[in-house]
Amino acid sequence: MRKKEIGLETTLFHRDTWAEVNLDHIRKNISSMKTRLGTGVSLFAVVKANAYGHGDYEVAKTALEAGADFLSVAFLDEALALRKKGITAPILVLGVSRPESASLAADQGISVTVFDDAWLESASAQLKPGQVLQVHVKVDSGMGRIGIRDKNKLMKVEGLLKEKKCFNFQGIFTHFATADELDTDYYEKQLAAFKGMLTVLTGRPDFVHAANSAASLRFADPVWNAVRMGIAMYGLSPSVEMKPLLPYPLQQAISLKTKLVAVKQLVKGESVSYGATYTAQGNEWIGTLPIGYADGWIRKLQGQEVLIDGIRVPIVGRICMDQCMIKLPGFFPAGTEVTLMGNDGDESITVDEIAAKLETINYEVTCMIGARVPRIYMKDHQLQHVRNFILE
C-alpha cells in the first residue's frame, strides 16, 4: 500500500480534514485569461464568499501577483477584512452598501456599487470634507437583481456624480444571467440593453465592465476594458454545457482531503450510522472519516465515492454532522489519507462530479466547504501556508 506523508503543520490545526488549494493553478488560470484578453483590459478577480471557499486573502494575493488589477467582493465587510490583512489593491463591492458606510469605504479606498440617486444624496451627507468615494454604477440589463433599469435614471445618477465633488464616477457595469448557456438570445438582449444605456452617458468612466468568466471565455464583444473573473480563476467551468467551448484548459485549484480515524470490521447484519440505513452483507471493513454535514459535506452525498489508495469506495450510511463512514475494500490503517475531491493515483473526483451528485453547480460546492475545514496552500509544489479560520 502506498502511504502518503503530507507533513502537515500539526500545531496549526488538530483535525485530519483539510482543503488543499493549489495557488499555482490559480495563477495559471489568471495568466491564461490575461493572454486571452490581451493588453488594455483590466482583470477584476472576484474573491467574494471567502474566494468561493478557497480563502480570500491567499487568493487575492495570488491573483494580484498574477496580474489582476482589482478585487471584487459582495459586501463591504469582505473588503474590510482584506484591508485588515494588508491588501492595498483597489477593491469593488459588487453588492449593496449602506449610504451610512460611505465615509468608511472612502477612507479605506474601497469602491462601491450604486444604482440610485437617493443613495448618492444620503451618502454625500455622510462623507467628510475632502473625502472622495469611488463609485461604480450598476445597470440592470436583464439580471433582475440590482441596477438601473432606465435611461432617465442613469442620466440623473451620472449628473449627481459629476456635480458632487465627493464622488468619482470610476466605473459602470452590468451582469449577465445566461452567458454560460448555449442559447445566446437572452445574453444578446442584455448586451444590447447595456450598450443602449451607455449611449446616454456624457462621458466614460475609467472602467466599463460586463463580462463574468463565461462571457470572457466565449465572447469578445462584452469585454470593453475590464472583466470580472470568478469561477474560471478557481479552475472550474461556469457550466457543464460550456465545458466543450472552453478556449483553454482550466485547472481546478481545490482538493478536499481527510484521513481514516477509525477502522473496524462489521459482520453480516451489523449497521452503520443514524437510522441504521446501511447493513453489512457479510464481513466488511468500514472506515470513519472526520468530516460531516457541518463542514459542507452534506447528507445528500451518501453513496458518493471517495478515493483511498487510488481506488473508488462508497460513503455508506447517513452522513453525520462531523463524521461519515466509507466501505473499504479491505483493511487500511487509521491515518490513511482519503481524497473526497481531487486526484489520487490515476483516479480523480472533480468538484463537478460532486456538484452533479448534489444536483447543483460547482460554485455551491466550493462555497459550502465550511470555516471549520482548514485550508492549506500549495505553491511551487510546496506547502506554503496553513489557514485555520476557527482559530483566527
Name every residue whose Cβ is closer than 8 Å to that of residue 43 and which is 6 or more positions away in sequence: 30, 33, 34, 37, 63, 67, 68, 69, 70, 226, 227, 229
**In this structure, what C-alpha cell is assigned to residue 329?**
475494500
274 is catalytic: yes
Spatial separation of the C-alpha atoms in residues 229 and 227, rounded to whole Å = 6
**How far is the CA of 181 from the CAs of 207, 237, 238, 289, in angstroms?**
26, 12, 9, 37
Instruction: Verify binding: residue 42, ligand PMH, rule CB under 6 A.
Output: no
Among residues 48, 61, 138, 259, the one annotated as catalytic is 48
In this structure, are residues 193 and 141 in contact, taking their beta carbons and an 8 Å threshold? yes
In angstroms, give the least distance from the CB of 230 to ligand PMH: 2
Instruction: Report in angstroms how near the CB of residue 74 gets to ligand PMH at its nearest.
Output: 7
Q: Is residue 238 involved in binding ligand PMH (CB under 6 A)?
A: yes
Interface residue with ligand PMH, options 26, 59, 166, 229 (CB under 6 A):
229
**Between residue 93 and residue 122, which ones bind ligand PMH under the rule CB under 6 A?**
94
257 is catalytic: no
| Interface with ligand PMH: number of residues (CB under 6 A) | 13
DSSP output for 369-392: S-TTS-EEEEETTEEEEEE-GGG-
CB of 36 to ligand PMH, least distance (A): 14
- What residue spans of 269-361 are helical by DSSP H? 351-357
Q: Is position 230 an interface residue for ligand PMH (rule: CB under 6 A)?
A: yes
Give me the residues paired with residue 307 across strands: 312, 339
In whole angstroms, what is the distance from residue 175 CA to residue 187 CA?
A: 10
Instruction: Using the minimum distance from each CB to ligand PMH, give the nearer residue, 238 or 292.
Output: 238
- Closer CB to ligand PMH, 159 or 247, in the complex: 247
Q: How many CB atoms lie within 10 A of CB 84?
A: 10
Closest CB 164 distance from ligand PMH, rounded Å: 25
Choices 14-22, 104-112, 224-232, 373-381; region in contact with ligand PMH by CB under 6 A: 224-232
Among 33, 46, 110, 114, interactor with ligand PMH by CB under 6 A: 46
Q: Which of 197, 231, 308, 313 binds ligand PMH (CB under 6 A)?
A: 231
Retrieve residue 353's grid coordinates: 462530479
Q: Specify the stretch interacting with ligand PMH by CB under 6 A; choose among 156-164, 191-199, 228-236, 323-331.
A: 228-236
Which residue, 253 or 338, is less far from ligand PMH as judged by CB?
253
Stretch that binds ligand PMH, among 160-168, 212-220, 246-254, 266-274 (CB under 6 A): 212-220
Residue 105 CB, shortest distance to ligand PMH, in Å, is: 17
- Residue 70 or residue 169: which is nearer to ligand PMH going by CB? 70
- Encode burial over 366-380: b for 16+ CB neighbours within 10 A, e otherwise: bbbbbebbbbbbbbe
Residue nearest to ligand PMH (CB): 230
What is the rounded distance in angstroms from the CA atom of residue 72 to the CA atom of residue 69?
A: 10
Query: Cell 472550474 sits at which residue?
Result: 236
Q: Applying CB under 6 A, does 224 fall inside the site for ligand PMH?
A: no
Beta-bridge partner residues of 285? 265, 328
C-alpha distances in angstroms, 46 versus 26, 55, 83, 94, 188?
12, 12, 15, 9, 23
Q: Name which position in 363, 369, 374, 385 contacts ligand PMH (CB under 6 A).
A: 363
Q: Which is nearer to ligand PMH, 235 or 317 (CB)?
A: 235
Which residues, at least 6 apart from 94, have a Cβ–Cβ distance to it below 8 Å? 46, 48, 72, 73, 74, 113, 228
Which candidate in 4, 243, 268, 274 is catalytic? 274
Choose between 76 and 231: whose C-beta lies nearer to ligand PMH.
231
213 part of the interface to ligand PMH, by CB under 6 A: yes
CB 64 within 8 A of CB 23: no
365: phi then psi, degrees, rounded to nearest 5:
-65, -50
Question: Which string of x and - marks every residue 163-202 that binds ligand PMH (by CB under 6 A)?
Answer: ------------x---------------------------
Binding site for ligand PMH (CB under 6 A): 46, 94, 175, 212-214, 228-232, 238, 363
Question: Active-site residue numbers?
Answer: 48, 274
